[in-house]
Amino acid sequence: MRGWTAEEMMAVEAARRLHDRTVCFVGIGLPSLAANLARRTHAPGCVLVYESGAIEAKPEALPLSIGDGELAETAVAVVSVPEMFAYWLQGGRIDVGFLGAAQIDRHGNLNSTVIGPYERPAVRLPGGGGAPEVALAARDVFVTLRHSRQAFVERLDFTTSLGERVRVVVTDLGVLEPAGGELTLVATHPGVGVGEVREATGWDLRVADDVRETTPPSAAELAALRALRTRAAA
């Protein structure tokens, strides 16, 4: 029996892709978990930038929102939201932007706006927020979301963010990277087969010739991850 959850595997795999001094535009939830895990393990110099304007924040506990006071208290500087987008993001100073979504297509385009027709949606989602700007201005975009046919669709109900800068998609089943303009399965998590990933994808998924298995979370990674979550729960 494995000693970690699917969400923990996702966070660990995403964190491993962040390096020391990477300037990372962080969102709340799994992106914040992954970025703070990287900072507490192999990449202590990873620079966390939050949409609220906190630059190089070093929270001791996971922030509950981008307005969490600890972000400002632990940041090197706090700037206005317009300055954050105009000078930092659109100025080309962000190495990695994390995004999530309700839907993704084979080209990495994302939908976080509506499910169903825009005029009469079955579900109205939170919307783009800063995601369209992150998708276009960050040097690389990392996407994290759970893998299902409802999320990995042949055609988006609405295109919120373009996928041209998506470099990796980390899911609860494996890892996809673009090849020839199309997302390609390059790794599966322990215990997950290629067929399972294909079955959970709404298009004919391209698979790399040498699909690898991701390395399970180490004891140190899990301890750091769970400590972050414990402090957040407290």
Counted residue by residue, the chain has a size of 234
- Choose, from 8, 51, 133, 221, the residue flagged as catalytic: 51
**Backbone φ and ψ of 41, nearest 5°:** -125, -95
Residue 207's closest CA among 187, 191, 178, 184?
184
Strands (E), the chain: 23-26, 47-50, 54-55, 77-78, 96-99, 103-104, 110-111, 114-115, 123-124, 140-144, 166-170, 174-179, 182-188, 206-213
> Catalytic: 56?
no
Task: Kindly list the distances between the CA atom of residue 15 and the CA atoms of 44, 64, 68, 167, in Å, as whole numbers in the listed order.
Answer: 12, 19, 22, 14
- Could you tell me what percentage of the chain is helix, strand and coil, using 3-state DSSP and rounding each to the nearest 5? 30, 25, 50
Q: Give the residue numbers marked as catalytic.
A: 51
